[in-house]
């Protein structure tokens, strides 16, 4: 087992993308840290903001065009051209969410409820908020504050603290 | 395999201190493991522990989300009852294996 001084004491995760897999990678890492008793800050910026905007957070999609790792049920690669069929992105995203539900992975809003109930903190990036013309009222209740990059670094400081960019 | 003595009973544990034979568990043993973890067990702790054991026995996976849906405590209370790493601590005290779940 690692020495106490080798242990991770704080995790700071930055999520700049808003596809299902980007946001879930962030939330699984964040929730996992909270569950281990690690102090956790999650910072959403650029397209990642969709994950904390009230009327968007539970409607995230996954990219079906330009996603070479995406496969059809059975394992065949999904031809990019199929991705342009209307409804394909919505269908694929629905499938992803259904599969996640089977593994007891909660929807985004519920995941954030679990994270914040355990003491994890969720923040929005000020610059991206300004750029996408979001207001504080657009954000879900789980957001603790809107930070500048300087404030984020201040928050992320300390011994045993790590920054992850998902 | 390691062994440990709790409340005068010798039990089988793995190298992390988790029970390898959950049937060796008793309420008195739980209180002693909890003390090692710095927790004084209350009736609410026992309710959670017994729910965890039941869930384990029925073969269902344990996740932090399942706690929220247990109807016994919400997640916030769960974190308060077992501060730090609640699912790890609670399962250790409950005498069941460490959950292998990522959520």
pLDDT (0 to 100) of residue A2: 57
Task: Find the chain B residues whose C-beta atoms sit closer than 8 A to any C-beta of A.
Answer: 61, 63-66, 68, 74-76, 79, 83-88, 101-103
How close does chain B come to A7, measured CA to CA in Å?
A: 14
Question: In whole numbers, what is the pLDDT of chain A averaged over residues?
Answer: 95
For residue B9, being part of any structural domain is answered with: no
Reading the block at residue A152, the tokens are 């984020």
Query: How far apart are the C-alpha atoms of A47 and A28, rounded to whole Å?
Result: 18
What dotted CATH number matches A12-159?
3.40.1260.10
Residue of A nearest to B102 (CA): A32
Beta bridge partners of A43: A14, A123
pLDDT (0 to 100) of residue B61: 86
How close does chain B come to A89, measured CA to CA in Å?
A: 26
Query: How far apart are the C-alpha atoms of A24 and A26, rounded to whole Å?
Result: 5
Q: Do B79 and A28 touch (CB under 8 A)?
A: no
Domain count of the fold of chain B: 1
Contact A129, A43 (CB under 8 A): no
Segment of A65-74, A82-91, A126-135 carrying the highest mean pLDDT: A126-135
Contact A20, A95 (CB under 8 A): no
For residue B15, being part of any structural domain is answered with: no
Asked if A28 reaches chain B (Cβ–Cβ under 8 Å), the answer is yes
Closest Cβ–Cβ partner in B75, B83, B101 for A114: B75
Query: How far apart are the C-alpha atoms of A78 and A68, rounded to whole Å?
Result: 8
Boundaries of every domain in chain A: 12-159
Catalytic status, residue B100: no
For residue B48, being part of any structural domain is answered with: yes
Q: Which helix (H) or strand (E) holds A117?
A: helix A108-117
For residue B7, being part of any structural domain is answered with: no
pLDDT (0 to 100) of residue A5: 80
By C-alpha distance, which of B49, B48, B31 is closest to B40? Answer: B31
Query: How far apart are the C-alpha atoms of B74 and B64, rounded to whole Å?
Result: 10
Q: Do B103 and A119 touch (CB under 8 A)?
A: no
Residues A33, A35, A37, A40, Cα dihedral to 10°: 40
Query: How far apart are the C-alpha atoms of A34 and A53, rounded to whole Å?
Result: 22
For residue B60, being part of any structural domain is answered with: yes
Residue range(s) defining the domain that contains residue B37:
25-103
* Model confidence at A95: pLDDT above 60: yes
Query: How far apart are the C-alpha atoms of A161 and B3, rounded to whole Å?
Result: 36
How close does chain A come to B80, measured CA to CA in Å?
A: 8
Contact A27, A115 (CB under 8 A): yes
For residue B33, being part of any structural domain is answered with: yes
Q: Do A28 and B76 touch (CB under 8 A)?
A: no
Judging by beta carbons within 10 Å of its beta carbon (0-12, 13-18, 19+), is residue A99 exposed, middle or buried?
exposed
pLDDT tens profile A16-69: 999 999 999 999 999 999 999 999 999 999 999 999 999 999 999 999 998 999
How close does chain B come to A32, measured CA to CA in Å?
A: 6
Query: How far apart are the C-alpha atoms of B55 and B86, rounded to whole Å?
Result: 16
For residue B71, being part of any structural domain is answered with: yes
Average pLDDT over residues A2-19: 91
Closest Cβ–Cβ partner in B66, B85, B102 for A28: B102
pLDDT (0 to 100) of residue B102: 87
Residues 6+ apart with CB under 8 A from B88: A35, A36, B98, B99
Residues of B in contact with A9 (CB under 8 A): none
Going by pLDDT thresholds of 50, 70 and 90, the confidence category of residue A145 is very high
Strands A161-165, B9-13: pairing is unpaired
Closest Cβ–Cβ partner in A37, A114, A119 for B64: A114
Instruction: Point out the residues of chain B with pLDDT beneath 50.
Output: none
Residue of B nearest to A28 (CA): B103
């Amino acid at each position: 087992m690692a020495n106490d001084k080798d242990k991770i004491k704080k995790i700071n995760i930055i999520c700049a993308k808003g596809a299902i897999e980007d946001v879930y990678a962030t939330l699984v890492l964040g929730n996992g840290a909270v569950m281990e008793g690690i102090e956790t800050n999650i910072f959403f910026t650029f397209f990642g903001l969709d994950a904390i905007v009230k009327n968007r957070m539970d409607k995230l999609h996954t990219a079906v065009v330009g996603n070479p790792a995406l496969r059809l049920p059975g394992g065949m690669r999904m031809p990019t051209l199929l991705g342009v069929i209307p409804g394909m992105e919505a269908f694929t995203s629905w499938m992803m969410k259904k599969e996640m539900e089977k593994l007891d992975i909660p929807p985004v809003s519920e995941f954030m409820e679990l994270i914040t109930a355990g003491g994890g903190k969720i923040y929005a990036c000020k610059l991206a908020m300004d750029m996408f013309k979001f207001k504080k009222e657009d954000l879900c209740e789980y957001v603790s504050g809107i930070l500048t990059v300087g404030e984020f670094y201040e928050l992320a400081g300390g011994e045993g603290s790590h920054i992850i960019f998902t | 395999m390691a062994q440990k003595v709790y409340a005068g009973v010798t039990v089988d544990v793995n190298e992390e201190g988790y029970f390898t034979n959950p049937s060796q568990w008793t309420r008195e043993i739980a209180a002693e493991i909890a003390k090692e973890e710095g927790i004084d067990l209350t009736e609410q702790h026992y309710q959670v522990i017994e729910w965890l054991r039941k869930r384990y026995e029925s073969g269902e996976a344990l996740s932090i989300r399942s706690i929220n849906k247990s109807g016994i405590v919400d997640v916030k209370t769960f974190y308060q009852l077992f501060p730090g790493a609640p699912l790890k601590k609670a399962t250790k005290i409950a005498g069941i294996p460490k959950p292998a779940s990522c959520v």
